[in-house]
Structure 1
Amino acid sequence: MFTYEIEKFKPLLTELIVRNINAEDANWLLAQGVNSVSATAFNSAFAALPRRTGKKPVNASTEIEIGLSAIRKGFSTIGWSVDRLSRVWLLLTIDPSEQGRYLRTIENLYLAAEMNELVALYSALPLLAYPEAWVNRCTEGNRSNLGVVLEAIMYNNPYPSENLPESAWNQLVLKALFTEKRLELITGIDERANAALAHTLIDYALERLAAGRNTDPMLWRLIGRFIDDGILHDIRGMLPRLGLPEKEAVALAIRESGFLPAKKLLETAPLQAIAGKKTSWNKFINDTKK
């Protein structure tokens, strides 16, 4: 039903909410729940939450964040607002014992949701019961043109990497690139890297170059382990047209590759002068932000 110990998780989430809103509104929120009110009242409470809780950023202690992620691996409230947190909490009060009713209740929320409600609903995916039931909903959400919705699906959200099939996962990564999202904030970005995605990303980079456009250097993070003769051929053709950050990313990707012919490319211009300059993707990210 659930993939984590929800009865240990909810008290921590409740404590976090109580620390972030006043006592009157906290008592109102805690009184809500599908077991004590009608579905109509529950939906109304879900919609009305921002008027009661406000939208200020969540102030979470390191202790609570660690506790939440220890119970639900990969979960984080970083970047969340209080209304988003409260809506996610409210979703956890829905009785999951009757699967059909549970799924319909949440699906109806998706169908009627405005932007901020969608953000909360997609943020809740790793916490909902019956995780296999939400794969299509997650895939559909990835087609959104709303940046904040995409970020709720992609950033610090373990659900996609744990549940999406490879084709849907690869589309999520491509959508992140198309919409200029930060790849390093996508949970499971390294673990879900795959050869099909690597070849797709090379094609994407070639198309961008042909159009006179740069690519996000971070895409090379997903290519290094899958370099083969075809990718190496494309790299050789691309190098003269790449900017310095992209060349540094290519050098780092090749360092991570087990393909020996690619390693030899580090001994030739233009990579020879920058090979080893960036020793990790974390360093690459930090240096490029300066």
Structure 2
Amino acid sequence: MGKTSKDYLSEVLRVNLTDTEYEWLTTAVEKILDSRSKKELYITYSLSTSKIQDRPITDFGEKDFAWKTYLELQEASTLEISRIYLLIAALQSDDNFLQPVQQLIQVADKTELETFLKYLILLPNAEHFKFVAVEALRTNIANVFNAISQNNPYPSKFFETEEWNQMYLKAAFMQQNLKKIPEIDTMANKELARIISDYAHERWAASRSVDPLFWRPVSNFLDESLLKDIERLFQSEDKREQKAATLVCYNSESEKAKKLLNQYDTYFQAVENGDLNWKNIE
């Protein structure tokens, strides 16, 4: 049997915590599992802040763990991973810990909530915690919203289409970095393309700009209205908008989009050569 998330995180913590910190954590976890007590879970979770110094993790251990790159990308810290390890251990040991963990998340402060959201994907039966991910879409606190929307595989795996669309639109509305939202091409859909067009028209009517990256999901859904939007981008004085229009049409199967691409071909060769893509549109 291969190593579980709990096994891997235990190894990571072993080399990044002090001996005293690691001994306290593992002893506390054993006590929770032996007693099956949610009270012990809450006490240990609460005490972790004073027992474990929060430091950046510098050694992520073996290379073959599925989530190693993800933890590095999230710049995981010792306190964050200690808390997630604690929750994973409890959840794996007994289904009766599910409700206490859900309650713990519901009363979390802002910093704790960020941690939960960033690492929800690691929890056993992660779909049971979707409520907190969806609730995070309603916040205007950028750090909390970005914890679920940026560099996070959870939404594309567990969100319904409407929820994912809401997240994408909210990211644009909050002017967050759309490059950091994973699986945009996979999650693209006709309704989202319509929403993007409607939102752009609202912004233009108010003489406001639209992030050129916002148009990425529309390539496969170019109706007459959207084609007019894309032509407007081609005719813009903003080179980033011209590049976005080129990428939209290049990735489309629409014959009318190909005609636009032939008409406005300034950046066609750059895309064709692989020198221009959605990651380097700046």
Residues 176-224 of structure 1: CA distance to partner in whole angstroms, max 9, x if unpaired?
1122222232232221111111111121122222222222221222111
Instruction: Say if 1:221 and 1:281, in contact at 8 Å, map to a contact too.
Output: no
Indicate if the aligned counterparts of 2:16 and 2:78 stay in contact, CA closer than 8 A: yes
* Aligned equivalents of 1:27, 1:282: Cα separation in 2: 51
Higher-helix-fraction structure? 2
Matched residues in 2 for 1:234 and 1:246: separation?
Answer: 11
**Aligned-partner residue type, residue 190 of structure 1:** D
**Counterparts in 2 of 1:110 and 1:69: CA distance versus 1, 3 Å:** closer
Alpha-carbon distance in 2 for matches of 1:66, 1:157: 19
Give the TM-score normalised by the residue count of structure 2.
Answer: 0.86
Aligned twin of 2:50: 51
2:280 is the counterpart of 1:286: yes
Report the equivalent of 2:166.
171
Aligned to 2:28: 32
Please give the alpha-carbon distance, in whole angstroms, between the structure 2 residues aligned to 1:82 and 1:172.
29
Equivalent-residue separation in structure 1 for 2:277 and 2:39 (angstroms): 50
Match of 1:272 in 2: 265
Out of 13, 20, 25, the residue aligned to residue 17 of structure 1 is 13
Cα displacement (A) at 1:265: 0.8
2:195 matched residue in structure 1: 200
Contact kept? 1:198, 1:223, Cα under 8 Å:
yes
**Match among 83, 86, 96 for residue 79 of structure 2:** 83
Query: 1:97 Cα deviation (Å)?
Result: 6.2
Instruction: From the superposition, tell whether residues 242 and 223 of structure 1 become closer, same or farther in structure 2 (CA, over 3 Å).
Output: farther
SS at match of 1:172: helix
Residues in 2 aligned to 1:282 and 1:76: alpha-carbon distance in whole angstroms = 29
Q: Distance in 2 between matches of 1:193 and 1:218?
A: 13
Choose from 201, 209, 214 the match for 1:214: 209
Is the contact made by 2:235 and 2:242 (CA closer than 8 Å) also made in structure 1? no
Instruction: List gaps (5 residues or longer) in structure 1.
Output: none
* Residue number among 180, 189, 193 corresponding to 2:184 in the alignment: 189
Q: Is the 8 A contact 1:77 1:85 kept in 2?
A: no
Segments of structure 2 that go 5 or more residues without pairing to the other structure are none
- Between 1:247-256 and 1:116-125, the stretch displaced more is 116-125
Shift of 1:167: 0.4
Distance 2:238 2:99 in 1: 50
Task: Classify 1:18/1:96 alpha carbon distance in 2 versus 1 (closer, same or farther; 3 Å).
Answer: closer
1:51 positional shift: 3.0
TM-score when normalising by structure 1? 0.84
Q: Counterparts of 2:176 and 2:148 in 1: how far apart (Å)?
A: 11
Alpha-carbon contact 1:35-1:95 (below 8 Å) kept:
no
> CA 1:184/1:32 → structure 2, altered by over 3 Å: closer, same or farther?
farther
2:62 to 57, 61, 64: 64
Structure possessing the higher relative contact order (Cα contacts under 8 Å, 6 or more residues apart) = 1
Structure 1 residues 50 and 190: alpha-carbon distance in aligned structure 2, compared to 1, 3 A threshold: farther
Amino acid aligned to 1:263: K
Give, in angstroms, the shift of residue 229 of structure 1: 2.2
The CA deviation string for residues 20-65 of structure 1, in whole angstroms up to 9 with x for no partner, is 221111111122233145323322322332333323222244x636
Identity %: 28
Change in Cα spacing, 1:15 to 1:184, as seen in structure 2 (3 Å) is same
Deviations 1:48-92 (A, max 9, x none): 32333323222244x63641338xxx8434222221121111110
Q: CA RMSD in A?
A: 2.6
Q: Which amino acid aligns with 1:127?
A: L
**d(CA) in 2 for partners of 1:182 and 1:232?**
25
Query: Matches of 1:114 and 1:228 in 2, distance apart?
Result: 45
